[in-house]
């Protein structure tokens, strides 16, 4: 083991500082004796791999007389120390007759470089304010005020801003938040409302040093909330200006598409808070609040845009119907009319709302290539994301992974309204890099511990790689029937238990509005390829969910199903017909590869097909 202490890292809720022999949460610090810190660092370096007693002895105490009893005692003491976070997590897992494994994900500074890059620039994660008032009804202000600050800061070139609102209940050390979100700084604070006054305390922490860069307090009438938000954003920009390739702003004020009405802003913040609930009822509430904000200020562009999002998401997740579609179309048109600049190009939104305008896969790919060749500021890095959806349809799975990675490194990438984080692990799994895919899903779980999608996805990969004990632990957390049933179907499939697969397939079919992709998987697992392809075709042709579904669905099938079933599926006549209808032929595959390699000087990516078209495809 190297003599130099490794850099600070995070494990679970703990911040680990090896040079100080200290572990910390937001509320407690514990000093470990050197022997325990060495063991924790060693287990963390294994990145979830199992460590034997022999390895622990040879790598940590070579040349010293250390008994197995001493190692057992160190493991017990380290477990006891980590358990003091109060979360009752199983940080160190015993693998019977084998050894030990650090079960909680490790996040290091080097992992941050994957998304944050090593060059100049600044990145910021923003936590919601802690509610210091006795009134729980002002939670919407705790989120809303700093989310408005976040919106203002997103306008600054060179600054990457991440919302860490999913961690509002975690009460983490800001440095742990920064490591999880690959951010160099973290904004946190508290709010107290007393009568008609707001009292805010805010601080900006540097993740590497743990020191405060900037702090301030505000005690002002609630009607001054606009000035507070502008002032906070301006002062943060000034604090970060040495890392930004821009002149320090005198004042940030983005109210050209905003409201000057406090009542309208208040309704807007209530709508955003409701929108985060993701239930049918919360979508209804969000729509009502956004409509109230618009009634108070008809030119409030961002309220129109959020109304579009609420209506679109209501249709996506809860089958809102034609009425919600028309509301979404009207709201998007008004947001555009009043000058709102969305985080994705307007053409993407138009294609969501008017699906008949969606080009075939070939033309979508060529469009994205042209946007990369001649950079379009409205598109930012969206052309890369569009390629990640289209390229798998043509069999370019490694290139899909590469373009997704490039997108994260792009200075133009805006993470809002993007599915990029949720797709990247699947891109790795589709090319057989399951360990990296599991690591990425673990990273997403660290950012949003309550999201069932991430636990389901990771459980499937644990099952696929024979790590059934870990799959069981993820499945136990799923209280959503759909995710639970499909996760269990995969678990039993990879354990070669077809009767149990059939049981959960039938349970999925009994659910109202079951995801078609889940039935694609279960029919395929049961060898019912005709039925699987029927759902596959319907999923691609009729789902009003995403921009284009064929490429991502092909990726997800490869990530979750064995190669033998994939080969059978992709040789099926219905799949070949689907390829042809999307403009995907052997000729268009060759054409696309040539066009992609023409922009290799810009992207740095050389493309070769690794998913050849089925035999007999048209030339």
Q: For 164-228, list the strands marked E by DSSP.
A: 185-194, 197-206, 212-221
Q: What is the pTM of this model?
A: 0.81
Question: What percent of the residues of the chain are helix, what percent strand, and what percent coil, each to the nearest 5?
Answer: 60, 10, 30
- Average pLDDT for 36-49: 86
Query: Does the pLDDT value for residue 120 go beyond 50?
Result: no
8 A C-beta contact, residue 395 and residue 609: yes
- Average pLDDT for 484-504: 96
In this prediction, residue 295 carries a pLDDT of: 93
Higher pLDDT, 581 or 568: 568
- Average pLDDT for 565-575: 92
In this prediction, residue 428 carries a pLDDT of: 93
CB within 8 Å of 85: residues ≥ 6 apart? 12, 13, 14, 25, 28
- Average pLDDT for 60-71: 78
The C-alpha atoms of residue 315 and residue 319 are separated, in whole angstroms, by 4
In this prediction, residue 54 carries a pLDDT of: 84
Buried b / exposed e along 525-562 (16+ C-beta atoms within 10 A) = bbeebeebbbbbbebbeeeebebbbbbbbbbbbbbbbe
Query: Does the pLDDT value for residue 616 go beyond 50?
Result: no
The C-alpha atoms of residue 290 and residue 119 are separated, in whole angstroms, by 40
The DSSP annotation for 226-295 comes to HHHHHHHHHHHHHHHGGGSSSPPPS----GGGS---HHHHHHHHHHHHHHTT-SHHHHHHHHHHHHHHHH
Query: Does the pLDDT value for residue 279 go beyond 60?
Result: yes
In this prediction, residue 287 carries a pLDDT of: 92
Higher pLDDT, 415 or 8: 8
Give per-residue pLDDT as tens, 515-555: 888 999 999 999 999 999 999 888 876 544 444 578 888 99
The C-alpha atoms of residue 384 and residue 390 are separated, in whole angstroms, by 10
Which domains are assigned to the chain? 9-104 (1.10.10.10), 109-253 (3.40.50.10610), 262-341 (1.25.40.10)
Distances (CA, A) of 515 to 317, 522, 535: 10, 11, 10
The DSSP annotation for 451-504 comes to -HHHHHHHHHHHHHTT-HHHHHHHHHT--SHHHHHHHHHHHHHHTT-HHHHHHH
Of all residues in the chain, the percent with pLDDT exceeding 90 is 22
> What ranges in 15-122 are assigned the alpha helix state H?
34-45, 53-60, 68-82, 109-116
Higher pLDDT, 64 or 424: 424
In this prediction, residue 413 carries a pLDDT of: 52
8 A C-beta contact, residue 494 and residue 561: no
Give per-residue pLDDT as tens, 343-397: 788 888 888 888 777 787 888 889 999 998 898 877 877 888 888 888 998 889 9
Range in 165-174, 291-300, 398-407, 554-563 with the lowest mean pLDDT: 165-174
Higher pLDDT, 583 or 521: 521
- Average pLDDT for 217-221: 84
Of all residues in the chain, the percent with pLDDT exceeding 70 is 87
In this prediction, residue 258 carries a pLDDT of: 65
In this prediction, residue 245 carries a pLDDT of: 55
Query: Does the pLDDT value for residue 619 go beyond 80?
Result: no
The mean pLDDT of the chain is 82
Query: Does the pLDDT value for residue 585 go beyond 80?
Result: yes
Query: Does the pLDDT value for residue 115 go beyond 50?
Result: no
Query: Does the pLDDT value for residue 492 go beyond 90?
Result: yes
Which of 195-209, 390-404, 577-591 tops mean pLDDT?
390-404
The DSSP letter of residue 547 is: S
In this prediction, residue 250 carries a pLDDT of: 56
């Amino acid at each position: 083991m190297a003599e130099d202490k490794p850099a600070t890292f995070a494990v679970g809720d703990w911040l680990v500082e090896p040079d100080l022999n200290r572990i910390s949460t937001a509320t407690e610090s514990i000093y470990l004796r050197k022997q325990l810190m060495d063991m924790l660092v060693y287990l963390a370096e294994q990145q979830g791999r199992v460590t034997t007693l022999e390895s622990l002895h040879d790598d940590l105490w070579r040349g010293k007389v250390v008994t197995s009893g001493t190692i057992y005692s160190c493991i017990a003491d380290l477990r006891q120390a980590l358990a003091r976070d109060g979360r009752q997590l199983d940080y160190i897992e015993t693998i019977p007759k084998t050894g030990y494994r650090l079960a909680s994900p490790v996040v290091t500074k080097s992992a941050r470089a994957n998304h944050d890059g090593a060059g100049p620039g600044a990145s910021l994660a923003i936590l919601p304010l802690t509610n210091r008032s006795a009134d729980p009804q002002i939670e919407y202000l705790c989120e809303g005020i700093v989310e408005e600050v976040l919106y203002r800061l997103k306008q600054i070139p060179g600054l990457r801003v991440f919302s860490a609102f999913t961690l509002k209940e975690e009460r983490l050390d800001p440095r742990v938040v920064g490591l999880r979100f690959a951010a160099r700084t973290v904004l946190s604070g508290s709010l107290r409302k007393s009568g008609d006054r707001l009292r805010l305390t805010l601080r900006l922490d540097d993740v590497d040093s743990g020191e405060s860069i900037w702090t301030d307090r505000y005690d002002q009438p609630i009607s001054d909330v606009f000035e507070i938000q502008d002032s906070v954003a301006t002062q943060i920009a000034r604090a970060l200006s040495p890392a930004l390739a821009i002149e320090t702003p005198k004042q940030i004020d983005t109210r050209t598409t905003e409201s000057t009405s406090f009542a309208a802003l208040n309704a807007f913040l209530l709508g955003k808070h409701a929108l985060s609930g993701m239930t049918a009822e919360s979508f209804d509430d969000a729509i009502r609040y956004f409509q109230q904000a618009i009634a108070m200020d008809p030119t409030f562009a961002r309220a129109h845009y959020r109304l579009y999002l609420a209506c679109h998401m209501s249709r996506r997740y809860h089958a809102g119907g034609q009425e919600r579609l028309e509301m979404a179309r009207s709201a998007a048109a008004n947001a555009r009319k009043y000058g709102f600049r969305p985080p994705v190009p307007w053409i993407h939104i138009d294609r969501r709302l008017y699906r008949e305008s969606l080009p075939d896969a070939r033309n979508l790919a060529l469009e994205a290539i042209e946007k990369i060749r001649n950079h379009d500021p409205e598109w930012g890095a969206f052309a890369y994301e569009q390629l990640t959806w289209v390229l798998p349809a043509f069999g370019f799975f490694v290139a899909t992974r590469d373009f997704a990675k490039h997108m994260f490194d792009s200075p133009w990438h805006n993470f809002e309204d993007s599915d990029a984080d949720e797709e990247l692990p699947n891109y790795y799994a589709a090319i057989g890099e399951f360990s990296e895919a599991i690591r990425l899903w673990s990273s997403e779980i660290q950012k949003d511990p309550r999201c069932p999608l991430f636990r389901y996805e990771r459980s499937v990969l644990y099952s696929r790689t024979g790590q059934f004990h870990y799959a069981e632990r993820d499945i136990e957390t799923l209280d959503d029937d759909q995710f639970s049933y499909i996760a269990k179907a995969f678990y039993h499939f990879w354990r070669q238990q077809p009767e149990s697969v059939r049981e959960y397939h039938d349970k999925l079919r009994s659910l109202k509005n079951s995801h078609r992709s889940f039935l694609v998987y279960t029919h395929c697992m049961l060898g019912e390829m005709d039925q699987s392809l029927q759902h596959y075709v319907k999923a691609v042709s009729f789902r009003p969910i995403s921009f284009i579904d064929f490429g991502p669905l092909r990726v997800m099938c490869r990530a979750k199903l064995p190669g033998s079933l994939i080969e059978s599926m992709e040789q099926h006549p219905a799949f070949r017909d689907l390829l042809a209808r999307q403009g995907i032929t052997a000729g268009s595959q060759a054409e696309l590869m040539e066009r992609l390699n023409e922009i290799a000087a810009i992207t740095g990516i050389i493309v070769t097909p690794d998913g050849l078209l089925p035999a007999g495809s048209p030339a």
